[in-house]
Chains A and B, each alone.
Chain A
Amino acid sequence: MRSDDDFMVRLEGVSKRYYLNPKRPWQLRDLATRPRALLRQLQPREPFWALRDVTLGVRRGEIVGIIGPNGSGKSTLLRILVGISPPTTGKVSIRGRFAALLDLGAGFHPQATGRENAYLNALFMGLPKSEAKEKVPEIIEFSGLQQFADQPMRTYSSGMYLRLGFSVAVHVRPEILVIDEVLAVGDADFQERCFDHFARLKEQSTTIVLVTHSVGTLKDFADRVVLLEGGRVVREGEPSDVVDEYMLSWAQASPAAQRIFQRALQERGIAAAVSTEEIEASNDPGGSAPR
């Protein structure tokens, strides 16, 4: 197989710049009260780089997890990948039909019923009418919402939103499935069903890109994990390596984690003299991330 053709998703040197809005948008009354603010409006706005020089490839059938703290650029990355937002610089190429579940409520009309929304959502994800109609019963069944399928969506809980949204996304036969942190809303039973389904999709060589904070699931399911921080890829590799390192760096930076850690040690009657550095040394001989 030609290795270059094997990439379903490829980002090369992708950066995304947003502009920060001024603290208060300029209004007409400022003409009288703050005339100088008008001049400030003419100055270039402050740029903010949500992504910097991200290069990433995802092969057919691969499950790639993306982790990182809030505001590290995960959602921006997915939006660029899916083609909702254009990159400021760099190259994006995607081959294959994809389905994206970037938000719980996206595309659902609160006044329409679950069934209507499932049909419409399938159309939004690019399924032709006949196929969408055909899939609706399957979608409803997978979601486990048979009893509520004809109720308006405004009566649904977030868990029910997720169930329906996820069911649509996996039933439109995507070649690439892109999911932004939403699975956490599902209960244990549904999450299990989701991951069972991921396994089945993987067998059908569906490519999956998944943003999540439930790092445990990534260790089990992902083939590779990418750690984003401040818009850069700081680490990429074996799920357990990247996840452990991410958790450790979080534990070191977080006073709350330190307290929990100290308390656990005290409960075990160990003098709380062990520092996290020592833990790191014993847990992670591989060294720290290139920063």
Chain B
Amino acid sequence: MEATATRHLSLPAAARSASTAWDLLIAVTARDLRVTYQGTFFSYLWWIARPLAMGVVLYFALGRVLRLDVPNYPVFLLSALFPWFWFSGTVQQSAGVLIANAGLLKKVRFPRLILPLSAVFYNTVQFLLALPVLAVFVLIAGIGADVAWVVGIPLLLALQMLLLVGLSMLLAPLSVFVRDLRPALGVVLLLGFYVSPIIYPLERVPDRFKPIVLLNPVAPLLEGWRELFLEGSVPGTELWPAVVFTAVSLALGLAVFRSLEKHFADAL
């Protein structure tokens, strides 16, 4: 017994060119951004408020109370907090995006990939809007803008975005079939915050714990963002673990998504 579904060339999926799917992706992302802060006076500032508030609290507790000896600690914190919030926000949203759109998936035929991708785009736009705020803090700290930003920001942006696309394609479909994944991710992200070099520099991590940090796909990226803003240095070879993670997550994510997407409507 074999099941086949022939979709001739003129079918939506086939006929819909990549550009039409792209239009849809942009429109969905734009709608979600618009809807999130609709009717709020401070609008997107609310997204910046979370990493900023966290930065203030951590600076007080670790910089002032425990007197951690790290130069430029406010910028040190923020330059890792912003990319971390981008990362964790995307991961969390990806794990819920298909479940949140169950009605759509059960009733409308469209390229399913739009949904995890829109979760990535949504959070990426918010990160981009937050970057100028980070730049202001860098300038206030007297570090000054650097030409390295011209190369460094697009490089890190592209790498982290690709990593998130891979993770999103992997986590979104799995969370439909393994409902424990979403709460589990909340725990993993909480732990991830502390095993990532956010509140402490990577070089202070004792050697025997270094492998743990190396297994963390975001760690090299966070270090990269920080060095870019604190020292004006373009990250180079030390990014290799992140590149490996990105490549693996993209390949794995695409394979998992492609094999599971036809069952979304029945599983939701």
Contact = CB atoms under 8 A, between A and B. Distances in A.
B2 interface: yes
Nearest to B22: A129
Contacts of A119: 27
A123 to B, nearest CB: 5
Given A79-B265, A119-B27, A124 B108 contact: yes
A100 B109 contact: yes
Nearest to B25: A123
A86 B27 CA distance: 28
B107 A94 contact: no
A123 B34 contact: no
B3 A103 contact: no
B177 to A, nearest CB: 13
Interface string A169-187: 0000001000000000000
B106 A95 contact: no
A111 B20 contact: no
A212 B4 CA distance: 28
B38 A93 contact: no
Nearest to B38: A111
A86 B35 CA distance: 33
Nearest to A123: B24
Main secondary structure of the interface of B (DSSP, over half): helix
A83 B13 contact: yes
Interface residue range, chain A: 35 or more
A128 interface: yes
Given A124-B24, A124-B108, A128-B19, A85 B265 contact: yes
Given A105-B103, A124-B24, A97 B3 contact: no
Interface string B92-115: 000000000001111111100000
A171 B113 CA distance: 25
A7 to B, nearest CB: 11
B108 A95 contact: no
Contact of A97 (B6, B11, B106, B263): B11
B35 A109 contact: yes
Interface in B18-36: 19-20, 23-24, 27-28, 31, 34-35
A107 B107 contact: yes
Contact of A86 (B15, B105, B262): B262
12 contacts: A83-B5, A84-B105, A87-B3, A93-B7, A97-B12, A106-B107, A116-B34, A119-B27, A120-B24, A120-B31, A123-B23, A123-B24
| Leading 10 A-B pairs by shortest Cβ distance | A106-B107, A93-B6, A129-B23, A95-B8, A126-B12, A111-B35, A103-B107, A102-B107, A89-B1, A92-B5
Given A96-B10, A128-B17, 7 more contacts: A83-B5, A84-B107, A93-B8, A94-B6, A94-B8, A107-B103, A116-B31
